[in-house]
Amino acid sequence: MKPAALPGDRDMRVWDVLCAGTTLGVLAWGAVGAWTAATIDTYPWNAWIPFPVGAAKGAVLGLLAAAAVLAVLPKGPRLGRSGPAFCAAFVGGSLPGTARTVLAASADPAHLMALLPHWAGTVALPAVACAAALAVLAGRPYRPGQSIAAGATLALAGGALVLVPVLASALAPEIRGNGGHANEGPLAILLCWSVGLPVLFAGLVRWGLLLRRRAGGGRPAEPAAAIRPVVRP
């Protein structure tokens, strides 16, 4: 029988799930974007763009997956079950991409078979990876150290979002083309920074507050019995 979480831990677990979902989304969809950038050969002027765009999109999708997990997380001190948490996270993380695929297939049913592999690789696969990790987190008993780790990883994810477009554009070949193609790079950088900076700030604030609380809680309070009244003559 699995141990139950303590009654006061649910608020901490909520923040942990949100931090973990955002971080996992950056990793999962960022990996898909990196793979796309490494294998694309049709548009040499913007081959690096799927990497930062995928990572920035992953932060939002991971947050949606985490919000879906919170919807099925028990209100009381009981632990969440991995099965419902996995299903909820998968639906939350894959819903936007699935909706786009369904709309595209309904507009042109002849391309359905061509859309399915794209959906499986760019929507379902990262959503499954993110959902599996969130399900494990929801099914484990709460530990105070995991909150500090969740805040730190969120800050690292935000820092990666800030640095990824700069590094990717520096390593990529020189931009070719003109017009909208030449402007796609700066727009991708702005998109990644607009998501990465809030994520970085939230992670640093969360991490700092938890460290401060942990340091403050480590000071033992003086027992009341040791306090003696001062009797004036």
Distances 70 to 78, 87, 104, 118, 150 between C-alpha atoms, Å: 13, 12, 30, 29, 16
pLDDT of residue 167: 86
pLDDT of residue 60: 96
Token digits for 166?
A: 């700069």
User: Can you list the residues of the chain whose pLDDT is less than 70?
Assistant: 1-9, 41-46, 76-80, 173-182, 217-233
Of the candidates 140, 151, 153, 156, the one whose C-alpha atom is nearest the C-alpha of residue 210 is: 151
pLDDT of residue 213: 84
pLDDT of residue 48: 83
pTM recorded for the entire structure: 0.83
pLDDT of residue 44: 56
Of the candidates 68, 2, 3, 62, the one whose C-alpha atom is nearest the C-alpha of residue 27 is: 62
